[in-house]
Amino acid sequence: MSEYDVDLFVIGGGSGGVRAARIAAQHGARVMLAEEYRLGGTCVSRGCVPKTLLVYASRFRAEFDDAAGYGWTLGHATFDWPTLIANKDREIARLEAAYHATLEKAGVTIVKSRATLADAHCVQLANGDRLRAAYVLICTGGTPSYGDQIPGLEHAISSNEAFQLPELPRRVVIQGGGYIAVEFAGIFAGLGSQVTLVYRGENILRGFDDEVRQHLRADMEKHGIRVITGCKVAAIEPAGGHFSVRFSSGNHVTADRVMFATGRAPNVTAMGLKEAGVEIAKNGGIAVDEYSRTSVENIYAVGDVTNRVNLTPVAIREGHAFADTVFGGKPTAVDHANVPTAVFSDPEVGTVGLTETQARAQLAQTDIYKAMFKPLKATLSGRDTTVLIKLVVDGLSDQVVGCHVVGEGAAEIAQVAAIAVKMGASKADFDATMALHPTTAEELVTMRQKSASYARAAAE
């Protein structure tokens, strides 16, 4: 008989954990998975899925407005937040049940409990039960972090609570400049809230292409979102059913809700990691090698808890690769280069590969191809919006090393462009591809003129 109760104990039933557990079980391992909240994790309960449903809801307003130019006369549209939240919750419950069924079918034993490490081979459940495992996989994800302690911070909500608000706030202040802050700004604004986005840096979406950041900010402002940069929330004071929000600039605004989207921290505390010998990396995540193995031989970690590329498909891929490596006899490292990503803002951003700034820092010669135009749909609707499409090309090899899109459908475009970028397609390959007309994406294959550097153009 084995000295272990299970071959694999998975701590955390989110994107990474569910995939790893299922694949390991399919490889023949005896797997147990502990989840303390809801199966499916952040993505399903309070991340990608509910967020995107809210984004869809928020976009109807623009569609209703745009319809007039196309001859439609609509009645007065009203929106009911509780209906949206109830319908969203129903879909999440359905997904959670589906995850449950899939895992059970694969033979995984699911425990609804918090789990921590007692030592490298021993996992302790909340009720004190202990299980011995040959391997442990930690995939506990991350949690919203609020940054500096300020007066009244306890009144701020994170994205977790934003999904469960009892009513749509009339006025919202959102602190943060990352994709979650920007997306919620679009959601609330689209649903009818007055939104102020405040960010301490010089512009939103740090790490994205500078021109994309500038372009998106301008469009968000055109659509009524107030964006204040170089500034922070300094204090939140309750004031008769709402809040008086003081900024570091000294200005005040009144808000019904204050949301902080100021980053996420890996869930590594009180997990028994140190005692088991699991090292933490400088970025606060669990340190792992390319096979997601930690500093302890039989303990692995995947997903946001490792703070590598914090996206659902990456966690899934890492979880799958772990299972193949340890239980499938097929050592698999995950390639984190050229991961496409999107911001479901208004307008949307889709991107893959190097930004112009990164390319200029890494390559001997960088060429930029760029198109900015009013989308066809906006001609009759009169919507004040502009699409940006930008290709970053290695000037010596002609390889397309980055693709950035701002506009309707940008996420879908970036997913497909990512195949070409990942394959190492050249600008000549893009040019040889026939355009599909009339689309936004056709500009990807019709741009012939090199464009001036954005950094240079901005400085001039």
Ligand X SMILES: Cc1cc2nc3c(=O)[nH]c(=O)nc-3n(C[C@H](O)[C@H](O)[C@H](O)COP(=O)(O)OP(=O)(O)OC[C@H]3O[C@@H](n4cnc5c(N)ncnc54)[C@H](O)[C@@H]3O)c2cc1C
Q: Provide the annotated active-site residues.
A: 437
Minimum CB distance to ligand X smaller for 12 or for 353: 12
Is 43 an interacting residue with respect to ligand X (CB under 6 A)?
yes
Is 115 an interacting residue with respect to ligand X (CB under 6 A)?
yes
CA distances to 340, 366, 392, 423 from 397, rounded to whole Å, are 22, 10, 12, 14
Is 16 an interacting residue with respect to ligand X (CB under 6 A)?
yes
Among residues 5, 7, 9, 13, the one that binds ligand X under rule CB under 6 A:
13
**Could you write out the three-class secondary structure of 179-212?**
HHHHHHHHHHHHHCCEEEEEECCCCCCCCCCHHH
Minimum CB distance to ligand X smaller for 139 or for 255: 139
**Smallest distance, Å, CB 82 to ligand X?**
20
Strand-by-strand arrangement of the 171-175 sheet: 226-229, 194-199, 171-175, 257-260
* Site map 413..432 versus ligand X, x via CB under 6 A: --------------------
DSSP classification of residue 127? T
**Smallest distance, Å, CB 378 to ligand X?**
25
Is 48 an interacting residue with respect to ligand X (CB under 6 A)?
yes
Among residues 58, 124, 267, 385, the one that binds ligand X under rule CB under 6 A:
267
Is 315 an interacting residue with respect to ligand X (CB under 6 A)?
yes
Q: What is the pairing mode between strands 366-373 and 387-394? A: antiparallel
Helix then strand then coil, % of the chain, to nearest 5 = 35, 25, 40
**Smallest distance, Å, CB 173 to ligand X?**
17
136: helix, strand or coil: strand
For Cα atoms 80, 83, 85, give the angle at the middle one, nearest 5 degrees: 110
Is 5 an interacting residue with respect to ligand X (CB under 6 A)?
no
**Smallest distance, Å, CB 185 to ligand X?**
13
| DSSP codes of every residue in 73-112 | --------HHHHHHHHHHHHHHHHHHHHHHHHHHTPEEEE
The β-bridge partners of 135 are 8
> Which among 166-174, 210-218, 274-282, 299-307 is the span making contact with ligand X, rule CB under 6 A?
299-307
**Smallest distance, Å, CB 460 to ligand X?**
36
Closest C-alpha to 241, from 256, 263, 252: 256
Residues in contact with ligand X by CB under 6 A are: 11-17, 34-37, 41-43, 47-48, 51, 114-116, 139-141, 159, 180, 267, 271, 303-305, 310-313, 315
